């Protein structure tokens, strides 16, 4: 097999015209082989039989021997490499240092340039280390030629928990990156490098860019010679749309492809995060307004001076006075610059950086390792989470979760004391010896991890049951080593059970058997009673167990296994061991157990929080649809009575593609809003779904999608998503590399904390904006008005810079470090178009600005009379600092200091002090600013244009500052809805037209003042409402007697849990999940009422587990027509 790795189908990049044209001597093209490897199980078999006859036909077309492989001739190898390429996936080329510096310079956030430069320097020299392949890792894709009990672990690629059995007559497709767990085999290699399934995933993650460029260049040189061949191949390719999304092979249609490439090249490399986009837009708007105000200020000051001096006073321009005039103009220019400096919010990016950096550090304590800084903030706007099932929602380990022992059905594993000693002995010995000795449970590799399951996962679940019962299987195996086993009937698809014979010291024999419950139970004539003694087991008793135990287990998605034994007395002649049917019969049933990959205990509560926060959780898994649906129900992704869709990857692809096999966004838009479970999905399907949701324009707000996953197969979707979460413990390196955040504890709950921190970042920025814009409005108006009236700004340039420092650096540090609260999860996501500054915040900004302007102008024009001091207005050019203007400055700073406390609440809450002592940074900054202000005023002197103030003047300044707190309470009592003139600011990217629904968005805005106003009315009407409600309930019951209840079929959902299904077994032998799903396909599917047979499996051989149950629909007036798409999806619980 190693030699045949050279029989390679290699990467051909975006355009494969050259290589396909040169396939010459070979009877198969690269595109044909690549599309073949995307098929699974029976689909692949049909394709091979249809196109090649069998695997030997593939070998013949590839001119290789199924026994000897390639000749090893260097010329032949070189020719194959030229046609098919090498088995090498080129790593993604890291950006150079200069590229990273240039990208940093493109951003307005120059403040974080130093940090970015340091990080960039490290990254520019980083190359991902090359890993060594272990001996059981498949290095390429291929088709099985010959195999012996070959079982493959495809969990890293498909998400499937069970090992997949490979055989020529069922599933001969072998995939690179998967592990051989049992058996041996020989295969012909059909796809290598970036054309293998693992390579395709790496391509989606951005690897192989250089190869694509080389191929494009080659194609450009030779395309003229190959036009005819290309056209013919394009026709063939157009019919095969199996992997349109992932395969760039079809872009050979001349000019169209080139135009698309150009368009793609012109697109921005990375879209800004939601917050970045809004902040940039807002900063530009404020900056323009500030620039306009500063220009007007300078123009007015210059004109006023010129007119007053040379027109009104009629003074001539004297040459000796020119330096003085220039000093005046410089002074005016400095005032204009001061207005501009105060107006432009250069602290915005700093606030974002501080908030994100602080959040990222704190998120580490919540087990979120943030790899990309903006992912934290983006997560706060998430509207959808597409989660993998295996390892993310579940434990990724088969576990016994229910058991029927001693005539009692335990919904949880019983305590050891509850099981009689005799039964326990049968159970321990039977499981220990009747499982392959290669199956074992080892200690965890990492601290805090779970024990490792090695070998068959079903057997590991049974061994885990013994550990749960405080028994050690290894003691039994040490006592009875494998070589002492008298006879073993291994598990296969015919017997659907495994049996092991032990010879006792007295010459008697005991056989232990385990297998699919419907098979083994039929062979049981006895069962262990409540006291552990065998008693007669009649067919009627068996039917009762099927109905009361096995069916309920199967309906919950559990795989049911029956454990049994039989004794052969010593006095009788030795049985004919080869006659298996006579041996494995007359058994005594020990127990029936239900096995599943259990849901992580914290997941249901975490999903409930997500749903309450307005985030839709979807499960995307490679597992079968029955198991996926059962897990989704247990997680809370699906709830009884909800309108939802559960689809398999094949149905999903059929629905989203047109007749040409191309994906259409309109078709995706019809599916994804109701889709909750996507089962049997390939990596392409996950990527397509995520891309489809992100690109959708069905709703006013663009969806912000987070994806969680742990396997290699999750890589493309993790990369495409707005935020990708990878599992830190169970996650593969590919998943981690593609992700934005790594969950260090593999805990879904940590995602909820990430949402909380993300929303907290958003709110922190809003708080900072509310504070800063209040200062901006007041400072600009004061500087502008004061300058125009008094020819001098009341707040000097240095004072303005100190105010700027307060409202930029220190305020951003204080307000951006507020810790998150659970209340953040009680609201819906803000979305991309929701403005940064809500109408409530605008009310607060304008309200506080009004108060501050009144105070400042009162002090400015009447302060000298109030405090009985000299006026500071109309002072000469180099006059010393005045008490008058110092009081104005000091009061202004005090108002900002106390308004910083007001700014902690942005939804109109009254208690602005709530949780203030939980933020030590905030308290320290407010106190520190106050102390520095005292030093500046008392000791600043001329540099700060300050004069010392008395205690009385200080107290008045503090009193007027504290007035902002009282004024804030007054503002809170005014309902925002009454102030129709208020506008929002800081929207995200808008559509050309704003839909009516978005204009009504303010209804959802939290307004505590409105709530308080209505509280009295609510109390008045509450009693009356209760009576009215009772009357309505009675009327509803009355009307239902006559009008009938709503028919479940009137819903558009294909699964409706409001009906009460009537479960019944279709045949005498129900189709119950088997001990190993890989062998279940040998049985013809049992008949289902109004449901067609299940489609062939896509990803592996495991069939849909669960009893085929039917629902009594006698009440229904209509049902889906057999030809409708819904009909094929009507599966029962």
C-alpha–C-alpha distance, residues 858 and 405, integer Å: 87
Q: For 40, what's the count of Cα atoms within 13 Å in the CB-facing half-sphere?
A: 21
Q: Which of 242, 222, 587, 602 has the alpha carbon at shortest distance from 434?
A: 587
C-alpha–C-alpha distance, residues 620 and 1104, integer Å: 16
DSSP string of 651-720?
HHHHHHB-TTS-B-HHHHHHHTTTEEEEES--HHHHHHHHHHHHH--SSSSPP-EEEEE-SGGGHHHHHH
CA distances from 19 to 15, 34, 84, 216, 1005 (A): 9, 13, 7, 12, 59
Place of tokens 């009504």: 1000
Neighbouring CB atoms inside 10 A of 774's CB total 27
Collapsing DSSP states into helix, strand and coil, what is residue 402? strand
Place of tokens 């506080």: 848
C-alpha–C-alpha distance, residues 355 and 1127, integer Å: 52
Neighbouring CB atoms inside 10 A of 26's CB total 18
> Do 972 and 1008 form a contact (C-beta atoms < 8 A)?
yes
Report how far apart the first and last C-alpha atoms of the chain are (Å, whole number): 44
One of 240, 388, 714, 722 is an active-site residue; which one? Answer: 388
Crossing angle of helices 839-866/749-790, nearest 10°?
Answer: 40
> Do 13 and 257 form a contact (C-beta atoms < 8 A)?
no
> Do 317 and 329 form a contact (C-beta atoms < 8 A)?
no
C-alpha–C-alpha distance, residues 668 and 656, integer Å: 5
- β-bridge partners, 384: 616, 705
Q: Which long-range contacts (CB under 8 A, 24 or more apart) does 910-917 make?
A: 910/969, 910/972, 910/1008, 912/965, 912/968, 915/818, 915/819, 915/821
- Asked if 169 is an active-site residue, the reply is no
C-alpha–C-alpha distance, residues 157 and 154, integer Å: 5
Collapsing DSSP states into helix, strand and coil, what is residue 89? coil
Spatial neighbors of 966 by CB under 8 A, at least 6 apart, are: none
> Do 711 and 685 form a contact (C-beta atoms < 8 A)?
no
- Work out the burial of residue 629: count CB atoms within 10 Å of its CB; fewer than 13 is exposed, 13-18 middle, 19 or more buried: buried
> Do 677 and 704 form a contact (C-beta atoms < 8 A)?
no
Collapsing DSSP states into helix, strand and coil, what is residue 166? strand
C-alpha–C-alpha distance, residues 1114 and 1090, integer Å: 13
> Do 35 and 243 form a contact (C-beta atoms < 8 A)?
yes
Q: Which of 685, 727, 722 has the alpha carbon at shortest distance from 710?
A: 727
DSSP string of 20-88?
HHT-TTSSS-HHHHHHHTT--HHHHHHHHHHHTSSHHHHHHHTT-BTTTB----HHHHHHHHHHH--S-
C-alpha–C-alpha distance, residues 622 and 246, integer Å: 17
Residue 124 token pair:
């520019």
Residue positions annotated with a catalytic role: 388
């Amino acid at each position: 097999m190693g030699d045949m790795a050279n029989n390679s189908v290699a990467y051909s990049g975006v355009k494969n015209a050259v290589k396909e044209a040169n396939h010459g001597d070979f009877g198969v093209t690269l595109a044909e082989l690549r599309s073949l490897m995307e098929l699974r199980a029976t689909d692949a078999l049909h394709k091979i039989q249809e196109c090649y006859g069998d695997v030997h036909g593939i070998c013949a077309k590839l001119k290789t021997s199924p026994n000897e492989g390639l000749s090893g001739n260097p010329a032949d190898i070189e020719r194959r490499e030229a046609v098919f390429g090498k088995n090498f996936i080129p790593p993604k080329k890291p950006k150079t240092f200069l590229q990273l510096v240039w990208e940093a310079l493109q951003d307005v956030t120059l403040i974080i340039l130093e940090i970015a430069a340091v990080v960039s320097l490290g990254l520019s020299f980083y190359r991902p280390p090359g890993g060594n392949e272990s001996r059981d890792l498949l290095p390429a894709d291929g088709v099985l030629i010959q195999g012996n009990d070959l079982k493959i672990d495809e969990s890293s690629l498909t998400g499937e928990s069970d090992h997949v059995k490979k055989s020529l007559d069922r599933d001969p497709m072998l995939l690179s990156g998967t592990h051989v767990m049992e058996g041996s085999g020989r295969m012909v290699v059909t796809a290598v490098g970036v054309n293998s399934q693992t390579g395709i995933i790496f391509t989606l993650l951005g690897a192989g860019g250089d190869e694509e460029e080389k191929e494009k260049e080659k194609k450009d040189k030779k395309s003229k010679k190959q036009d005819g061949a290309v056209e013919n191949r394009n026709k063939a390719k157009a019919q095969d749309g199996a992997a349109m999304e992932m395969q760039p092979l079809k872009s050979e249609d001349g000019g169209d492809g080139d135009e698309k490439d150009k368009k793609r090249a012109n697109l921005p490399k990375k879209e800004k995060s939601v917050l970045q986009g809004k902040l940039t837009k807002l900063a530009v708007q404020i900056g323009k307004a500030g620039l306009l105000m500063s220009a007007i200020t300078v123009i007015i000051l210059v004109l006023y001076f010129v007119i007053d001096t040379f027109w009104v006073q009629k003074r001539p321009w004297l040459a000796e006075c020119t330096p003085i005039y220039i000093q005046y103009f410089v002074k005016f220019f400095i005032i204009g610059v001061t207005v501009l400096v105060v107006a432009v919010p250069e602290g915005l990016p700093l606030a974002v950086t501080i908030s994100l950096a602080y959040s990222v550090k704190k998120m580490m304590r919540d087990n979120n390792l943030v790899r990309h800084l903006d992912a934290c903030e983006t997560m706060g706007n998430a509207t959808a989470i597409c989660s993998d099932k295996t390892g993310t929602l579940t434990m990724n380990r088969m576990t016994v979760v229910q058991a029927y022992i001693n005539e009692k059905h335990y919904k949880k594993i019983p305590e050891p004391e509850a099981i009689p000693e005799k039964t326990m002995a049968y159970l321990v010995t039977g499981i220990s010896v009747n499982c392959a000795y290669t199956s074992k449970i080892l200690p965890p590799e990492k601290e805090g991890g779970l024990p490792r399951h090695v070998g068959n996962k079903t057997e590991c679940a049974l061994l885990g049951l013994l550990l749960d019962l405080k028994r050690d299987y290894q003691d039994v195996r040490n006592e009875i080593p494998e070589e002492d086993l008298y006879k073993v009937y291994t598990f296969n698809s015919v017997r659907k059970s495994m049996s092991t014979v032990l010879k006792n010291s007295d010459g008697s024999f005991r056989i232990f058997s385990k297998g699919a419950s419907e098979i083994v139970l039929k062979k049981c004539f006895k069962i262990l009673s409540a006291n552990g003694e065998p008693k007669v087991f009649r067919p009627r008793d068996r039917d009762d167990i099927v109905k009361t135990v096995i069916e309920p287990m199967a309906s919950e998605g559990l795989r049911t296994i029956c454990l049994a034994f039989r004794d052969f007395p010593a006095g009788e002649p030795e049985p004919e061991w080869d006659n298996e049917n006579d041996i494995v019969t007359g058994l005594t049933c020990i127990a029936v157990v239900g096995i599943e990959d259990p849901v992580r205990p914290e997941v249901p509560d975490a999903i409930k929080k997500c749903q309450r926060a307005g985030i839709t959780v979807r499960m995307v898994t490679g597992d079968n649809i029955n198991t996926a649906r059962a897990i989704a129900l247990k997680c809370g992704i699906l709830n009884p009575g909800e309108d939802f869709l559960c689809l398999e990857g094949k149905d999903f692809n059929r629905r989203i593609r047109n007749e040409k096999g191309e994906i259409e966004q309109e078709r995706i838009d019809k599916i994804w809003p109701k889709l909750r479970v996507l089962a049997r999905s390939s990596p392409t399907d996950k990527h397509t779904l995520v891309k489809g949701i992100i690109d959708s324009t069905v709703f006013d707000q663009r969806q912000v999608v987070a994806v969680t996953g742990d396997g290699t197969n999750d890589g493309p979707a993790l990369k495409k998503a707005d935020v990708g979460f990878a599992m830190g413990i169970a996650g593969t390196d590919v998943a981690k590399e593609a992700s934005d955040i790594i969950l260090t504890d593999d805990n879904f709950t940590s995602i909820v904390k990430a949402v909380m921190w993300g929303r907290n970042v958003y709110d922190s920025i809003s708080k900072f904006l509310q504070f800063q814009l209040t200062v901006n409005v007041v400072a600009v108006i004061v500087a502008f008005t004061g300058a125009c009236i008094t020819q001098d700004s009341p707040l000097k340039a240095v004072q303005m810079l100190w105010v700027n420092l307060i409202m930029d650096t220190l305020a951003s540090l204080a307000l951006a470090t507020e810790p998150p609260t659970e209340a953040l999860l009680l609201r819906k996501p803000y979305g991309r178009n929701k403005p940064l500054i809500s109408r409530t915040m605008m009310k607060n900004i304008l309200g506080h600005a009004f108060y501050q302007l009144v105070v400042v102008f009162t002090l400015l024009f009447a302060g000298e009379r109030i405090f009985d001091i000299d006026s500071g207005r109309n002072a000469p050019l180099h006059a010393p600092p005045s008490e008058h203007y110092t009081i104005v400055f000091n009061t202004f700073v005090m108002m900002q200091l106390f308004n910083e406390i007001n700014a902690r609440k942005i939804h109109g809450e009254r208690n602005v002090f709530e949780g203030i002592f939980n933020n030590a940074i905030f308290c320290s900054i407010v106190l520190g600013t106050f102390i520095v202000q005292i030093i500046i005023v008392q000791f600043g002197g001329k540099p700060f244009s300050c004069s010392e103030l008395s205690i009385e003047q200080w107290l008045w300044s503090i009193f007027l500052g504290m007035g902002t707190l009282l004024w804030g309470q007054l503002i809170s009592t005014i309902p925002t809805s009454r102030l129709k003139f208020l506008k929002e600011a800081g929207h995200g990217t808008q559509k050309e037209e704003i839909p009516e629904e978005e204009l009504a968005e303010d209804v959802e805005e939290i307004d505590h003042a409105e709530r308080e106003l209505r509280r009295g009315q609510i109390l008045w009407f509450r009693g009356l409402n209760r009576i009215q409600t009772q009357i309505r309930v009675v009327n509803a019951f009355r009307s239902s007697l006559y009008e009938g209840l709503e028919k479940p079929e009137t819903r558009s959902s294909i699964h409706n849990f409001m009906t009460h299904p009537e479960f019944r077994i279709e045949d005498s032998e129900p189709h119950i999940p088997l001990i190993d799903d890989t062998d279940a396909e040998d049985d013809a599917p049992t008949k289902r009422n109004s449901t067609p047979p299940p489609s062939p499996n896509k990803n592996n051989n495991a069939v849909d587990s669960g009893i085929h149950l039917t629902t009594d629909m006698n009440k229904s007036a209509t049902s889906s027509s057999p030809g409708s798409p819904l009909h094929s999806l009507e599966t029962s619980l």
